[in-house]
Amino acid sequence: MKIPSETKVQAFQEEVLRLTGVKAHHQRLRFGFPSSKILKDDARSASLKEVGLQDGELLILEDLHDLFLGNLESGQFTMEEMLDKVPPSPEDGEDCTVTLFLDVLSAFEIESHSLDFWHAIRQRLREYFAEDQVGEMTKVSAGLKKLQQLFRHHDTRQRMQLILGSLPIRWKLHQSNKLVIQRSSFFESVARQVHSMNRRTMLTRLHISYQGEKGVDAGGLTRDFFASFARHMAEEAWLWRSTGRGSLHPTYGGEGGAGQMYQVCGRVFAMALLHGCKLGRPLSRPFMRLLLHVRPSSLQELQAELNYEAGEQVDFRCRKDFLETPLADLGLDGMLNFSHEGQEFIPGGAQIEVTDENKEQWLWHSLQQELFSPEAERAADDFRQGLIHVLGGRGPSLCPLLFLFAPEDLIDLWGSGALGKRELALWKSVCSVNSRIQQQAAWFWQVLEEEFDDELRSKVLQFATGTSSIGRDGLSAFRLEPGDGGDGRLPTAMTCGNLLQLPRYSSRQVLRQQLQTAVESTGSFEML
């Protein structure tokens, strides 16, 4: 970091916040050698030079919030002692560390002399799961929400394991349940079988096979099944539509059986969590917000959600100056009313013209209808019920797993659906290459980085490993080996071993063409 020595400490802390996300009151900045000097709060109006920071000095940032959580999880301190270690906060708001900590202790009835924080949480969760008291589940769900805020920077899979370890019916790793899929009617054949499963069956490991195809499921077919399921969901236009970003958002057109199908989708997504697998397409962030009961409360939030899902598409409703700019200047004067595709936002909306005076009201209703409609909310209720069928909960909406996550956390857990340059670098970093195809391997990575977009890269990853997303945990290993033949042969994969075989292609262009052909046309293949 380069910064002028005349910079005030307060301005420097704000820059640290921008770069790291650590709030100023949680920053402990050490410098000097040994690093014993501390930038103190009472020096915020002084310059860096005035507090003794020298050019080229090594600066160590400590996050007091994370240090507190480390002490909490160490088991060395009682909860009463931890109260003395809570980091400072400028004000005692609902999201300050001490308030969140006290709320969690109260919700889970953790005693002040307890040492093992997570043991107490798991113990209380098991009791709540075993009891049939909706009031108690409401209390624990609120506690889990506070726990999510307290551990908001912790790995999402660690939080998920907290719930999985508390299920009254254990995840039966050594038992298996066979799922036989017809490729020509993928979604229908999966939905029929998953709908008929009981909870004990859904808590066993899946063994995947495809009718009329050879294949031994050593893990690759299972990963491929989950990665493929969300893409086949996208083909069910009566249930889902694609946003500009490529996410799936519910349509819920009212056809018979739609609620049952959303429950099936929820069940499959829950089983994907149990198997540690990613899905091939992300669900929309507005849909995640409906799952979590966190609807936007302001027009700015609604615009941000639309802008997020629009991707590269341009929507005039996302414009920051939409409310300030006259409709005539936007070319929209007399073009809009309070309805869309036959649905009225308010009674008689089709006859109410949008004007500069009422366009803020129109924008609110328009975005609510597109992203958070009653139909989308019903789909979220059904999908959530499918999660509860597998992961536990009470009633139609109390799924404790969901209270541990923010919308972005769930998107990460189930897979973002695209493979960017950063994820590509992680993939490449664990790759080993057979010396006989060094040139072809170099072309392979060049094609992925320079010629394929994010979606096509994710298809290559699924073809080679059975999953279309690297995920937070990444890949442990990947191999590129020689394949049979030359320019006329397609690449082949063994997904159980994260192995891709490349024939000795004569040029980068040939490799690109054959690789794209393989990943886009493969519908039936032998996979291990």
Catalytically annotated residues: 496
Give the pair of three-digit tokens for residue 429. Answer: 């970093």
In whole angstroms, what is the distance from residue 68 CA to residue 1 CA? Answer: 27
Q: Which amino acid is at 442?
A: A
In whole angstroms, what is the distance from residue 377 CA to residue 456 CA? Answer: 32
Q: Which amino acid is at 438?
A: Q
Q: Measured between alpha carbons, how far is residue 498 from residues 357, 435, 461 in Å?
A: 59, 18, 9
In whole angstroms, what is the distance from residue 245 CA to residue 242 CA? Answer: 8
Name the β-bridge partners of 248: 242, 283
Angle, vertex CA 218, rays to CA 213 and CA 224, nearest 5: 65
- How many Å is the maximal CA-CA distance in the chain? 77
Query: Strand locations in 115-217, DSSP E?
Result: 172-181, 204-210
| Contact indicator for 403, 144 with CB cutoff of 8 Å | yes
In whole angstroms, what is the distance from residue 228 CA to residue 467 CA? Answer: 9
Residues in the chain: 528
Angle, vertex CA 26, rays to CA 24 and CA 32, nearest 5: 85
| Contact indicator for 505, 517 with CB cutoff of 8 Å | no
Q: Classify residue 413 by its DSSP letter.
A: H
Report which secondary-structure segment, H or E, holds 478.
Answer: strand 478-482
The closest alpha carbon to 462, from 413, 412, 415, belongs to 415
Burial 176-207 (b: 16+ CB within 10 A, else e): ebebebeeeebbebbbebbeebeeeebbbbbe
Q: Which amino acid is at 312?
A: E
Q: List, as own/partner pairs, every contact residues 109-113 make where C-beta atoms lie below 8 angstroms and the sequence separation is at least 24, other chains included.
A: 110/79, 111/79, 112/78, 112/79, 112/80, 113/78, 113/79, 113/80
Angle, vertex CA 277, rays to CA 468 and CA 130, nearest 5: 155
